[in-house]
């Protein structure tokens, strides 16, 4: 029996930093789901009230800028979230013994700091398990542990919406 190849699941949150984590089984191959979830050009369709700009296809070093707010999709100003992909390792296959795919987006401000991590584990049979985690603090004088507890509930809701919308699109 072959055992899965170990691969890190992304960075751990610093001590005291709260986070949001949502996992969903998707009836689509791991490679397809990983490619779609890590390509920020898709997030404009899935993340509520957000427009996204990126400098290209996902790979280490790719920059992403998301702007969120009530009319952000129509060009209005909003909360700016600048990120850079710091790890990008697609799944090694679609069978259950393949290593999962892992992508890490480092949040560089100006307001949001921390990481967003996407892990896609192949389950075989054209299915996978997608996990989307956000460990976010706010820039400024307040302690990171406090601001992460303030941001986690909102990120939890957003991640649930994103994975539900992505799964519906990818399974359809």
| Burial 105-114, CB ≥16 within 10 A → b, else e | bebbeeebbb
Q: Locate 28 and state its tokens.
A: 């689509």
Residues (pLDDT < 70) of the chain are: 1-16
pLDDT value for 140:
87
pLDDT for position 79 = 92
Tell me: the pLDDT tens digits for 138-151? 998 888 888 888 88
35 contacts 143 by C-beta, under 8 angstroms: no
Percentage of the chain beyond pLDDT 70 is 91
Cα dihedral 161, 162, 164, 168 sign: positive
Q: Give the sheet arrangement for strand 20-26, strand by strand.
A: 20-26, 127-138, 112-124, 101-110, 79-89, 63-68, 50-54
Identify whether the C-beta of residue 114 lies closer than 8 Å to the C-beta of residue 136: yes
Residues 35 and 38: their CA atoms lie apart, in Å, by 6
- pTM, full prediction: 0.89
Please tell me the predicted confidence (pLDDT) of residue 142: 80
Q: What is the pLDDT of residue 5?
A: 43
Helix axes of 144-171 and 30-38: crossing angle, nearest 10 degrees: 130
């Amino acid at each position: 029996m072959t055992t899965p190849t170990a691969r890190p699941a992304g960075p751990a949150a610093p001590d005291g930093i709260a986070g949001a984590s949502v996992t969903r089984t998707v009836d689509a191959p791991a490679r397809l789901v990983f490619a779609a979830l890590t390509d920020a050009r898709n997030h404009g369709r899935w993340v509520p009230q957000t427009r996204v700009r990126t400098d290209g296809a996902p790979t280490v070093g790719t920059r992403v800028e998301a702007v969120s707010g009530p009319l952000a999709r129509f060009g209005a100003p909003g909360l700016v979230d600048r990120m850079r992909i710091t790890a990008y390792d697609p799944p090694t296959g679609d069978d259950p013994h393949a290593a999962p795919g892992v992508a890490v987006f480092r949040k560089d401000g100006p307001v949001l700091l921390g990481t967003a991590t996407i892990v896609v584990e192949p389950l075989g049979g054209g299915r996978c398990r997608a996990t989307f985690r956000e460990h976010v603090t706010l820039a400024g004088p307040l302690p990171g542990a406090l601001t992460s507890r303030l941001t986690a509930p909102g990120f939890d809701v957003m991640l649930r919406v994103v994975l539900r919308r992505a799964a519906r699109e990818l399974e359809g």
